Structures are given as C-alpha cells and as structure tokens.
Structure 1
Amino acid sequence: MNIYFAAPMFAKSDLVYNSYLVKIIREKYPQASIYLPQENEAINDKTAYADSKMIALADTEKVVDSQLMIALLDGLIIDAGVASEIGIAYAKNIPILGLYTDTRQQGGEHPQKLAALQTVGENQFHYLNLYTVGLVKLNGEIYSSEEELLKGLATYMESDKVVQWHLKPN
C-alpha cells in the first residue's frame, strides 16, 4: 500500500516529529510504502532549487499514486501544503486519516470554557478550517492521538476498507 504522509515541514520540530511518526508506522507496517515529502531531496533540499511547478508536480503525483493519506492537522492553522494535498486526495477519493492533537480540545464540556465562548476574545478552544476538516471527514477519520491514529490505520491496513473507499463513485 502506498501512503502519503502530509505534514508541515519547515521547522526543525516538524521535521523531527514527521520522521519519528513515519518511523513508527514503517516499523509496524514494513509492507507499506510511505512517501514523506521531506525525504524527497530533489524538491525539498532547501539549499538547492526547485520551482513551484516542480514541487506541485512531484507531490501531486505521489498523492495520486497513494491508496491512503495521513495528514497532520496541528499548528496555528492547517499547513497550506497539507490543505492542498488533502484537497487532491479528496478529489481522487483517497481515504484520509487526520491527526489533530491540539490539547485545547480537552475539557470540551467544562461549563466555564463553554461560558467563555460568549465573551469576545475568550475562546478556550482552537479553531480548524471547517472546509478542510470536512474533506477529511468525508473521506476518512480524524484522531486526537498517535495511539488512536495507529489503531485507525490498522483498520485500513488489515481490511479491505481502502478498496471500499476507492470503489465509491467520485
């Protein structure tokens, strides 16, 4: 199975986390081929040169060739490249497993947090773009922890769920 790993990749912390999580998935599923864009030096060696068309063509080809996408949704906003990759995966009916670990989602039933929503500037929760979230949910799932993501991934790896998604009409 070809898996596309969509994630922010411009801060050292992003690069390290992406490598960490992909390493876990590769060890658990050695039969899977995981494309991690930061490993494609032809377009992502920042000391070299790749123009916008080279980057778009290379990554789009890998999205289209995948049977599953894992997309990291954390950050101040969903990374623009990740959102674009999600859009392509959705259009091609490729299942998407989102990972959203933002701790501000905890305590969603706390009465003071809910009351604070009525006060300007006191939102205790993080906002994600609902259009992009909707694309993920229409074609997959969103998980709030690595452990949940790995359990969800297991259902795709160990069943014909991916085949079923691909058989849905576009």
Structure 2
Amino acid sequence: MKGYLANGLFSLGDRMVNRVIATQLRGAYREITGEQLDLFVPQEQTINDKSSYADSVMIAKLDSESLMTSDFLVAVIDGVEIDSGVAAEIGMYSTTGKPIFALYTDIRQGGRDNTQKIGALIEDCTENQFMYRNLFVVGLVKQNGAVFLDIDSLIEDFMTYVKEDINNG
C-alpha cells in the first residue's frame, strides 16, 4: 500500500507533526500487515533539502507522481488557512476518488455546543470564536473521506481502511 502525507514542511512545528503522523501511520500499518507502508512524506525527500536546488517543475513532477500513484492521502488542514500546497494536493487527489484522511486539530473547534459562543456569533459575526476552513477544499475531502480532530481518530480510521482493503483483496 502506498500513501501520501500532505502538510507544510517549512516550520519546526510542521516537521514535528509530520514525523509523528508518519511514525504512527507506519506503525499502524506494520501492526496490521507485518509489512512496511510506502508513505511519501515530502520533507523526507532529498528534493526538499533547501540547501540544494530544485525548481518548481521538478518539485511539481515528483509530488504529483507520488500523489497520483498513492492509495490514500493524509492531509493536515491546520493553520490560519489551509496551506496552499496542501489545498492543491487535496484538489488534485480528489479526482482519483480514493480516500482522503484530513487532520484538523485547531483547539478553537472546542465548545461547538456552547450556546454563548454560538449566540455571540449570531449577534455579531466579528465574535467568531471558531476557525473557518475553505468549504470547497473541505467538500473535496468529505466526498472521498473525512476530517478528524485528532491523530488518534485518524489512525483508528486508517486502520479500519487497511483492514477493509485486506479483506477486499
């Protein structure tokens, strides 16, 4: 099985999150199959070593080929806005009809049942205490997958997907 992990890769936080997700995906896959997961993580590719040179076409070609030959996509949609590269990867990959596992961990999603927060939003839209995600991108994810609010839930659903894939041959 082959997968692709889409997230920013330039900040320490992004690279750390990517390592955690990749480690957990690989471990879950090995636990179920006894095999190694072929997971494409852009930060692990030498083309993304920023002390060397790669132009936009080289990067687009490698990422696109890896993305389109993957069996699933994990996309981190955290941040002030969804990372533009991640949004492009979701858009491209959504055309395959294959599963997309999106991770959205922003703590401002807490309290969605808090009537004071909802009332404040209804009364004055500048009191929005929740984060907005681009609805087109989220819709592309939901057509072929789901949005998860924590890594554990994402991994659990991924494990179900792997087990179903094995059972379906």
Q: Do structure 1's residue 38 and structure 2's residue 43 form an aligned pair?
A: yes
Alpha-carbon contact 1:100-1:142 (below 8 Å) kept: yes
Counterparts of 1:1-170 in structure 2, within 5 Å, are 1-30=1-30, 31=35, 32-41=37-46, 43-117=47-121, 118-160=123-165
Alpha-carbon contact 1:89-1:95 (below 8 Å) kept: no
Letter of the 1:139 counterpart:
N
Deviations 1:2-21 (A, max 9, x none): 01001111101111110122
Alpha-carbon contact 2:24-2:155 (below 8 Å) kept: no
Please tell me the root mean square deviation across aligned C-alpha atoms, in Å.
1.7
Q: Which runs of 5+ in 2 are unaligned?
A: none
Q: Taking every aligned residue pair, what percent have the same amino acid on both sides?
A: 42
Distance 1:114 1:144 in 2: 20
More helix by share: 2
SS at match of 1:34: strand
- Which stretch shows the higher mean deviation, 127-136 or 104-113? 104-113
Task: Give TM-score, length-normalised by structure 2.
Answer: 0.91
Alpha-carbon contact 2:2-2:72 (below 8 Å) kept: yes
- Which stretch shows the higher mean deviation, 9-18 or 21-30? 21-30
Q: Which runs of 5+ in 1 are unaligned?
A: 164-170
SS at match of 1:29: helix
Query: Which of structure 1's runs of 4+ aligned residues deviate more than 6 A?
Result: none
Residue matched to 1:167 = none
Q: How many residues align?
A: 163
- Which stretch shows the higher mean deviation, 119-128 or 130-139? 119-128
Distance 2:45 2:18 in 1: 13
Task: Give TM-score, length-normalised by structure 1.
Answer: 0.91
Letter of the 2:45 counterpart:
N
